[in-house]
Structure 1
Amino acid sequence: MKTKSSILLKLLVVQCLVVFCVAQDFDFFYFVQQWPGSYCDTKRSCCYPTTGKPDSDFGIHGLWPNYNDGTYPSNCDSKNHFDKSKISDLISEMQEEWPTLACPSADGYSFWQHEWEKHGTCSESIFDERGYFKTVLALKQKSNLLQALKSAGIRPDGKKYSVESIKEAIKESVGKVYRSSAWCTNNKLLDT
């Protein structure tokens, strides 16, 4: 039985942070990371990328513009298609930090294309394609969630940890407020 005060630290699917507020066509960004084992433990099947099994660490899911009312813009510029040549020097880092787990196995390009075309094109007032991906990679380096949780004694070991202790560990490390409404259905963290 799941309670609000404690969760099994095995399936934390998505962690979202409000990373900064902007006076643009939206109100703020969610920087979304996912735990590979958790993604693979959901009802969706998962396949490791063609580049190999990801590290046991949070991976990037995306940077999503949002409105304060809970809605979000998407697919804002249908003419601005993903161009992998614009990020060619970032590919090896993206394959490591932003792996795709969707089936069938892939190299990441279709996942990154989806993220750019759905979310990135809505932040063009701030980023071009290269700037979007470079910024997301920099955010990943600044918000080392696995280390933040480990530093607070929270590990993917099957033990139960309170939601509040997880939020506090992230807030202490990253310095931003964790939006609990961003938690998904399965609140567990699974060691991969």
Structure 2
Amino acid sequence: MKALFVLSLSLLALVASAKDNFDFFYLVQQWPGSYCDTKRACCYPVTGKPDPIFTIHGLWPNYNDGTYPSNCDQQNEFDGREIEDLQRTMEEYWPTLACPTGNGLKFWAHEWDKHGTCTESTLDQHSYFLSALNLYKKANLLTALQDAGIEPDDRFYSVDSIKLAIKESVGFTPGLECNKDGSGNQQLSEVYLCVDKSGQKFINCPNFPRISCRKQVQFPSF
């Protein structure tokens, strides 16, 4: 019995440590045209087809060594009532594209349960989603790319030019993630920007996610 008690305390300590000791966030935005233009395809949310803009995937706590905490508190489940005042904005900028068609609550619950519960020492549930929305509005990725002549027109652009356009607009170099369409073409899928532990401002990235983009990638229409 004593051994089990000690083990339980140790597990609680690990959970508390995971909540407190992450080093920075990734704000991850996705391009819906790339999400939908795969063999998996997509389903539009109940509110209809999203606008042709980058949308939020998530705000993910990370460690400087490239690892990350996840699912830190199963007792603190997502509660949609906590973000009722944000829901309309989230439907616009953080829509679900998963099938079957949904209202976003399942997507947001997943993001909170996996990532948000590891930020409780810094951000409660409402603050977590609000911080992601505020950061999103600070980084208008589509405008940054269009100002550099990079359009979602199914043409191919260099990875370096995409990164430079975003850096010149936001002030920090992003990480890029790519996927493949049904024909095997690499396309710009996600953009990673790093955020300080408070969830308030962008910072230089301590590390980047695994690189999956070649030198030239397609920017598909949506």
TM interval, short-chain normalised: 0.7 to 0.9
* 1:65 Cα deviation after fit: 0.6
Instruction: Tell me what 1:166 maps to.
Output: 162
Contact in 1 for aligned 2:62/2:69 (Cα 8 Å): yes
Specify the SS of the correspondent of 1:100.
Answer: coil
Secondary structure of 2:178's aligned partner: coil
**Percent identical across equivalent pairs?**
62
Q: How does 1:1-192 map to 2 (within 5 A)?
A: 24-180=20-176, 183-186=177-180, 187=187, 188-192=218-222
Q: CA deviation at 1:35?
A: 0.7
* Higher relative contact order structure (alpha carbons within 8 Å, sequence separation ≥ 6): 1
How big is the alpha-carbon RMSD for the aligned residues of Structure 1 and Structure 2?
1.2
Tell me the alpha carbon deviations over residues 83-107 of structure 1, each in whole angstroms, 9 at most, x when there is no partner: 1111101000000000000000000
How far the C-alpha of 1:112 sits from its partner, in A, is 0.2
TM (normalized to structure 1)?
0.83
> Which residue is equivalent to 1:18?
none
| Counterpart residue identity of residue 220, structure 2 | L
Q: Which stretch has the larger CA shift, 43-52 or 125-134?
A: 43-52
Specify the code of the residue in structure 1 equivalent to 2:48. G
Moved more, 62-71 or 74-83: 62-71
Amino acid at match of 2:166: I
Structure 1 counterpart SS, 2:95: coil
Partner amino acid for 1:101? L
Q: Return the letter of the residue paired with 2:81.
A: S
| Structure 1 position 37, deviation (Å) | 1.1
Q: TM-score, normalised by structure 2?
A: 0.72
Residue 160 of structure 1 and its aligned partner are, at CA, apart by 2.2
The one-letter amino acid paired with 2:80 is K
**DSSP-derived class of the 1:65 partner:** strand
Give 3-state SS (helix, strand or coil) of 2:61's partner: strand
Q: In structure 1, give the amino acid aligned to 2:56.
A: I
1:137 deviates by 0.5
Give the count of matched residue pairs: 167
- Give every structure 1 segment of 4 or more consecutive aligned residues whose post-TM-superposition deviation is greater than 3 Å: none
Q: What are structure 1's unaligned runs of at least 5 residues? A: 1-23
- Which stretches in structure 2 are left out of the alignment for 5+ residues? 1-19, 181-186, 188-217
When residues 60 and 135 of structure 1 are mapped into structure 2, their CA distance, relative to the original with a 3 A threshold, is same
Greater gyration radius: 2
